Amino acid sequence: MAFAIDSNWVVDFAWILGIACTLASVSMILFVLWFRRYVDAENRHEKLVNDRWQETLFEIVSADESPDAENLPDDDFGAESYSGKFKNDFDDEVLQQIPEKDSPYFLYTWNYIHESLRGNAKDRLNAFAKSRGAKEKALKLLRSRFIKHRLLALNTLGNLGEKSTYDRISTFAAKRDPIVSVWAFRAMFRIRPRETLEKHLHLIAERADWSPAHVAKILKECDVDLISEGLAKLCNEYREKEISEKQFAYLVSYLRFAHQRDAEPILRKLISESSQMEVLISCLRLVRSEDSLPSIRKLLIDERWQLRMFSIMAIERFGHSYDIELLKRSLDDKNWWVRYYAAQALLRMPDMTTDDVKKLSVMVETDFERDILLQVLAEAEFRCKTQSSTAL
Amino acid sequence: MQDAILHSFVEYIQWFYLLYFIGLNATYGILGLISLFVLPRYIQKQIAQRLPHAETGFEPPISLIVTAYNEAPVIIPSTEALRQLDYREFEIVIVNDGSTDNMMELLTKKYDLEVFPAAIRESIDHEPIKAIYQSKKYSNIRVVDKENGGCKADASNAGINAAKYGLFMPLDADTILERDCLKLLIQPYLLNAETIAVGGSVRILNGCEVENGFLTKVGFPKNWYARFQVLEYGRAFLNGRVGWNFFDALPLISGAFGLFKKEAVVEVGGYSNTSLGEDMDLVLRLHRHFRLKKIPYRVDFVSDATCWTEVPYTYDILKKQRVRWQRGLFDCIWENKKLLFHPRSKGVGWGSMPFLLFMEGLSPFIELFGYFFFLISYYAGMVSFEGTVAFLFLSVASGFMISMSTVLLEELIFQTYPEKRDLHTMIACAFLENFGYGQINSVWRLEGTIKWILNTKKSWGMMARSAAWNKTATEEEGGVHAVIENTEKLDAPAEVSEETNG
């Protein structure tokens, strides 16, 4: 048994590995302790800056003097002259330049307040920010290696409506990062909506990595007269192009931000011709024209339950008594959701009263039909009760 | 001759342990580095979420399913807190899993419940539902009163059947959610329509202050068991989940905090009411179903969506929990063994599942055998003193380093514990957990493994809750103020309830 492995290099290796782990741990401890001191100091500074600028910015927002819409500055020169109005209103401290280190904090506070506001107060904030060199600071932050600074800069430039920065921002819309690019796209729409619509709207069809909800939010913020035709045109164009079903379905769903007159022709065409489920669902959610009704009725017997359900929802919107019989047939569907929406639709049909539905619940043959009708009736009764109690 | 064989054996064992430590450190190191790379970028991008009106208005509605068994002390404050969540549209479905206390009476009184003739779709099996109630005060509160199913899974399945919306979140009655957590958890669904499940981080409530069902002050636990668990949860969520999520191989979404697509969960048959690890089992079954059938899907993790939960603070309860977790782990791996090293299983079958099996499942064997082997070998004169110390030192040093990497990530990204004193305690815990706590954990897990092999009777265990946060709820009507603290300051647990409705 005299082979104790003192000299075995496995043991030496274990020592080395153990020491390496210990050194790594000690380094991490030292770093963590230093980092905590750094973060504490940084947080204190951030709080000081925020407190100071919040107060100032709130004063600007709540100032009595509302700018005359016609005299609003639309360029840098105008902004400077307009900001001169504040020189008499605020003390010298406010007019101090923002130190470089403070600019992200100032811009965040400014953006936060800006995003909370509507109307003229935004213009006052813009004018003030321009006079404090927010544009230059934002452009500088666009070059930062921190993504949060780049996002902040894009939002600032968008909120400022800085036309001169449009081209610079448009390069960010082409970036690979979906968050950065979609923020750039939003800023572009805020600065030059018409140009963005004409030159860059195709991005919403091509960027599959962009969140459809964010794109929808951007489109919702736009003037419907401005984007309506462009959206319909884009849908028509991409109907023939090679994009995924999902992506095209999203594109169709953006037609909710278009005028009905622009959206309906393409919706009608798609409902009658397409077999793609996602696309059809998008259409069924939006369709308002009775011209599509024959195609929608055909979908009531489609083998995909989602299509049966959405076609019931569409039929309910039109409210034709002819469809009551079709809806009654759907009460016995094998899918719960189809039965549920069929029962709801029946209750909401103009030619059906609550009593009619109650009678129907007694007459139906299966438990499926009866149960779902009773649930929908109870829900309706509950809604009536809560509405009347709210009214009281 | 015999000496030569023994010598080779000892050397092979030493090599095995050396490689084991290298493998362990390398895996945690890689996961930690990924978190270090991914998390700061992610958190920076969240600046968008912190601006006002960050919601798009297109966030889908969510069903919150609160499963509760004898949770009378906490059900009202919990529900009231849920009502105040910052989200566009959601419903609260409380599943009373055959409680024997006065929980139903409290709910009926508080929310003015009346029987509702709901046509429940029985997509997933569960114990019979006695009745469904609708609150007359709030249209988004319903109560499903069902027969006791003996486990949380059964109650969750009933809740899923009753849920009105396409996304649901299963919750425990005592979970404290951060007000914006739904807005954060919904993000992956908005970004990728193929998302079927999203998990968030679970943090430890012991030592924190809670008011009106919301966390008002973060504090580090005073109880040592809870303190060590802070690091364990950190390792699991900051290192593990973020890292595995990067490889699209997330093996687990905590049962206390996840957002699921109802259609996908129904497709795989809902929660398993035979598995002790029903939450992990569900996620692995989702992977198995979608991956092996080549259906595109995504299981995601949102690190800054946070819920807080009370953890065991006594030896007995912690032991029961760990034994149960270990059995659950093997249950899940065994049930989903088809996924392991399957050619189509990608990151799950080739990364996270082998990690769970070898680094989590079998590690108690390896570690305890290691201690046993080196000590016996030393006394038998087969290994020198230096050799024994070297390997014990390596074991402690590598454990310390892994825990420190969690502390580092925690500090770099979240700085959850604002007090400097708490940071120092956390560092001390990272070191001290290697002297006793780690080893006793291995013993419990070994017991769990043996029980799984022997297939002894399953038990969901009892979870003692301090329930201190409910204390003043009865004193101040409607107001809930509490400090979740350790047993040292409590005379006795105010309430003992089944941890998972068992």
- Residue A211 maps to a domain: no
Residues 44-83 of B with CB under 8 A from A: 44-45, 47-48, 50-53, 56-59
Q: Examine residue A170 and state whether it is found in any structural domain, yes or no.
A: no
How high is the pLDDT of residue A199?
Answer: 93
Number of domains making up chain A: 2
Both tokens of B456, joined, read 């002894």
Backbone torsions φ then ψ of B133, nearest 5 degrees: -115, 150
Q: Are B73 and B176 in contact (CB under 8 A)?
A: no
Mean pLDDT of B101-122: 89
Ranges of chain A with pLDDT below 50: 1-7, 66-92, 392
In DSSP terms, B63 is beta-bridged to: B91, B168
CA A54/CA A109 separation, integer angstroms: 7
pLDDT in tens, B139-156: 899 999 999 988 889 999
Q: Smallest Cα–Cα separation from B488: which of B221, B157, B250?
A: B221
Domain-ending residue, one of A109, A136, A162:
A162
Q: Which residues in B lie closer than 8 A to residue A276 (C-beta atoms)?
A: none
Give the span between the Cα atoms of B150 and B148, in whole angstroms: 6
Helices (H) and strands (E) in chain A, counts: 22, 0
CATH of the domain at A364: 1.25.10
Q: Is residue A341 part of a domain?
A: yes
Residues of B in contact with A151 (CB under 8 A): 44-45, 47-48
Residue B392 has pLDDT above 50, yes or no: yes
What is the C-alpha to C-alpha distance for residues A109 and A127, in angstroms, rounded to an integer?
A: 15
Which of A11, A39, A116 minimises the CB distance to B52? A116
- Whether the CB of B14 is below 8 Å from some CB of chain A: the reply is yes
Would the CB atoms of B53 and A13 count as touching at under 8 Å? Answer: no
- Minimal C-alpha gap between B406 and chain A (Å): 10
State the Cα–Cα distance between residues A201 and A192, nearest whole angstrom. Answer: 12
**Residues of A in Cβ contact (< 8 Å) with B52:** 112, 115-116
* Residue in B closest to A215 by C-alpha: B56
**Predicted confidence (pLDDT) at residue B120 exceeds the cutoff of 60:** yes
Contact at CB, B382 and A8, closer than 8 angstroms = no
CA distance linking residue A73 with residue A83, whole number of Å? 9
In a domain, A313, yes or no: yes
How far is C-alpha A335 from the chain's CA centre? 32
pLDDT band at B275 (very low <50, low <70, confident <90, very high): confident
Final residue belonging to a domain, choices A116, A135, A162: A162
List CB contacts (< 8 A) between A15 and chain B: 390, 393-394
Does any domain span residue A232? Answer: no
pLDDT at B479 over 90: no
Q: Is the pLDDT of residue B162 over 60?
A: yes
- Three-class SS state of B314: coil
Cβ-defined contact of B44 to A151 (cutoff 8 Å) = yes
* Residue from the list A3, A33, A371 with its beta carbon closest to the beta carbon of B7: A3
Residue with tokens 């001390």: B428
Asked if the model's pLDDT at residue B431 lies above 70, the reply is: yes
CA angle A302, A305, A311 (to 5 degrees): 65
SS3 B146: strand
Q: Which residues of B touch A18 (CB under 8 A)?
A: 390, 393-394, 396-398
Higher-confidence residue of B473 and A167: namely A167
- pLDDT, residue B474, reads 39
Is a pLDDT exceeding 60 seen at residue B482?
no
Give me the pLDDT at residue A285, please.
94
Average the pLDDT over B46-59 and give the result.
76
* End-of-domain residue from the set A135, A162, A189: A162
pLDDT band, residue B73 (cuts 50/70/90): confident
Which value, to the nearest 10 degrees, does the dihedral of the CA atoms of residues A177, A179, A182, A186 take? -140
Cα–Cα distance for residue pair B333/B338, rounded to 1 Å: 9
pTM equals 0.84
B79 pLDDT exceeds 50? yes
> What distance separates the 2 farthest-apart alpha carbons in chain B?
85
Q: In terms of CA atoms, which chain B residue is nearest residue A115?
A: B52
Tell me which residues of chain A, numbers 75 to 114, contact chain B at a CB-CB cutoff of 8 Å: 108, 111-112
CA dist list (Å): A371 to A31, A229, A345, A381, B116:
65, 46, 15, 15, 11
Rg for chain A (alpha carbons), in Å?
31
Of residues B469, B450, B412, the one with CA closest to residue B175: B469
Across chain B, mean pLDDT equals 86
**CB A36 to CB B423 under 8 A?**
yes
Answer yes or no: is A96 within a domain: yes
**Exposed/middle/buried for B66, CB within 10 Å: 0-12, 13-18, 19+?**
buried
- Which residues of chain B lie closer than 8 angstroms to A33, CB-CB? 423
Q: What tokens does B188 get?
A: 């992956």
Kindly state the average pLDDT of the residues B195-199: 96
Is some CB atom of chain A closer than 8 A to the CB atom of B295? no
* A195 part of a folded domain: no
Does B5 contact A at CB distance below 8 Å? no
Backbone angles phi, psi at B466, to 5 degrees: -65, -30
Q: Which residue has the tokens 């939003």?
A: A186
Q: Per DSSP, what are the bridge partners of residue B261?
A: B167
Residue B391 has a CB neighbour count (10 Å cut-off) of 28
Q: Give the pairing type, strands B298-309 and B195-204.
A: parallel
Length of chain A as a residue count? 392
The pLDDT of residue B476 is above 60: no
Element at B364 (helix H, strand E): helix B363-379
Under a CB-based contact definition with an 8 Å cutoff, are residues B304 and B43 in contact? yes
Interface check for B421 against chain A (CB to CB < 8 A): the answer is no
C-alpha A340/C-alpha A345 separation (Å) is 9
CB A382 within 8 A of CB B139: yes
Contacts of A35 in chain B (CB under 8 A): 411-412
Range of A53's domain?
46-62+75-162
pLDDT of residue A387: 63
- Chain B positions in Cβ-Cβ contact with residue A372 (cut-off 8 Å): 119
Contacts of A115 in chain B (CB under 8 A): 51-53
| A234 CB burial (10 A radius; 0-12, 13-18, 19+) | buried
Taking one residue from A and the other from B, the number of pairs with CB-CB distance under 8 angstroms is: 180
Quick one: pLDDT at residue B201? 93
pLDDT above 90 as % of chain B: 54
| Cβ neighbours around B57 below 10 Å, total | 10
Strand partners, B203: B308
From B277, B181, B199, B185, select the one nearest B241 (Cα to Cα).
B199
Output the CA–CA distances (angstroms, integers) from residue A249 to A37, A239, A277, B208, in the order listed. Answer: 51, 10, 9, 47
Write out the DSSP string of A180-236: HHHHHHHHHHHH-HHHHHHHHTTHHHH-TTS-HHHHHHHHHHS-HHHHHHHHHHHHH
Domain assignment of residue A8, yes or no: no
Cα Rg of chain B, angstroms = 23
